[in-house]
Amino acid sequence: MKVFKVGENRLSVDLLSEIISNKINLSISSEAKKRIKNSNNYLKNKIKSSSDPIYGINTGFGSLYDKKISKDDLGKLQNNLVMSHACGLGDEVPCEIVKLILLLKIQSLSYGNSGVNLKTIERLVDLYNNDILPVIYEQGSLGASGDLAPLAHMSLALLGLGDVDVLDTYKIDNYKRISSSKILKKMGWSPLKLGPKEGLALLNGTQFMSAFGVWTLVKAKKLSYLADLIAAVSLDAFDCRIDPFDNLIHKLRPHKGQIKTANNVREILKGSNILKRKNKHVQDPYSFRCIPQVHGASKDVISHVESVFNTEINSVTDNPNIFENKDRIISGGNFHGQILAMSMDYLAIALSELGSISERRTYKLISGERGLPPFLVASPGLNSGMMITQYTAASIVSQNKQLCTPSSVDSIVSSNGQEDHVSMGANSATKLFRVVNNLEKILAIELLNASQAISFREEKSSDFIQSFIESYRGDVSIIEKDRVLNSDIEKTISFINNISVSQELI
């Protein structure tokens, strides 16, 4: 089985996607093991040789930083931290994102600046490789001091506390719930006894925010291309001009995303017989004509946010940080999620806009213009056809607009004023998760309408589009008369979700 050695190479959003989708196991590289052991030994020696207060190691946490802890209680301090901070509520984090949280926590601890025992990190690897995924909740993190509550729930499994979801090998991609104590016993593992700093190293960090961001970026990159593809179907279905996609225009305003979008649409529509006929319309509505400018802007945001996350997932974000070569332990604020919160707010806006312009194209397709029947059904009146699909898209677009209220501008004081400015990045992350899933639904509704509309054209579209629609027709047939459309939309969402898009196209 292929194995990814943590600590040997830098991570990227694309590499994480490959590791997760191909179910690649993890191991700790020999170089990372050396760093981890050196850091842990340094910390142990420092505690033995000095009675000076070191935050979170021999002191309390947050506003309790001035409470000195005896050397006999340093391990208990860390266990208490994990238990007391497991205050998460709300929806459960999807299992695929929990796997990312584990992977990113392992990566962050592998740099040897956290002072943890190698055995602790190896247990996280065991959980990951065996698909033993702690139950984590979406609510509870302020996005500063790290994702404390979610990561506490992640860490409970190490202590034999809380519940986990375990991959059921008899049902592919299905998980069954079991207590951590039972699965540890079944695997022959003893609950860990945390040493100095270990609970803090596990709970401090941005891995909850980062995992949601990475998962969304992977999906967003794919949907960005599919938005171009589905828009191209709508363009031909609505009898639009190709002129606005001419490269001469985009050289005059050479934003990368704009150029990429125009190129995508031209390539998808190449050879279309619908485009070859003489067009009666001098100009098209903005939702068609300005696809390169709108889709392109979203592409540029995706690219920017990806660069932020590529830095974050290769960073150390717990506190304090240990530098044994400098003989220093420094308490700082790398756990603060402001850069992620702002980036995810920005990305939510970009993805919401892809949905907003998509809904406008759906609206035009059902309007009864340009030779298309009202609501895209052969006998309108007796049949309402696609009328209410646009209502559904509009309601989801409206929800996305509401979800785009930025979390990063909010802050509520915590820990008796010691933690007086927080990022609210976890809320930004979970909002973004909803926005990208909503976008998929909106695009599915456009595809349902665009594929229906193009069936009324006598001429053929491009070979690319004809092949794409033929594949789609294997899941969703042409709508001849009214039927329950919920199932058609759900099938279209599934069709989009199952499309594989190569990195070269994204």
**Catalytic residue annotation:** 55
Structure tokens at 59: 């002191």
Return d(Cα 505, Cα 390) in angstroms, integer. Answer: 29
- Which amino acid does the sequence have at 419? E
Cα–Cα nearest to 287, from 222, 221, 237, 347: 237
Q: Are 38 and 324 in contact (CB under 8 A)?
A: yes
Structure tokens at 500: 């594989």
Look at the block and give the residue holding tokens 């979801």: 165
Return d(Cα 397, Cα 159) in angstroms, integer. Answer: 43
Pair type for strands 25-28 and 3-6: parallel
Cα–Cα nearest to 363, from 388, 398, 400, 396: 388
Q: Check residue 72 and report its DSSP letter.
A: G
Return d(Cα 353, Cα 288) in angstroms, integer. Answer: 14
Structure tokens at 26: 């993890």
Residues with Cβ < 8 Å from 209, sequence gap 6 or more? 141, 143, 147, 337, 340, 341, 344, 425, 426, 428, 429
Cα–Cα nearest to 62, from 142, 121, 153: 142
Look at the block and give the residue holding tokens 């592409």: 299
Angle at 505 between CA 504 and CA 506, to 5 degrees: 95
Return d(Cα 46, Cα 328) in angstroms, integer. Answer: 10
Q: Are 202 and 105 in contact (CB under 8 A)?
A: yes
Q: Are 398 and 495 in contact (CB under 8 A)?
A: no
Give me the phi and psi of 230, to 5 degrees please: -65, -40
What sign does the dihedral 413-418-421-425 (CA atoms) show? negative
Structure tokens at 57: 């190691």
- Which amino acid does the sequence have at 426? A
Cα–Cα nearest to 310, from 221, 226, 440: 221
Cα–Cα nearest to 291, from 367, 336, 205, 230: 230
DSSP, residue by residue, 391-424: HHHHHHHHHHHHHTS-STT----BGGGTB-----
Cβ neighbourhood burial of 72 (10 Å; 0-12, 13-18, 19+)? exposed
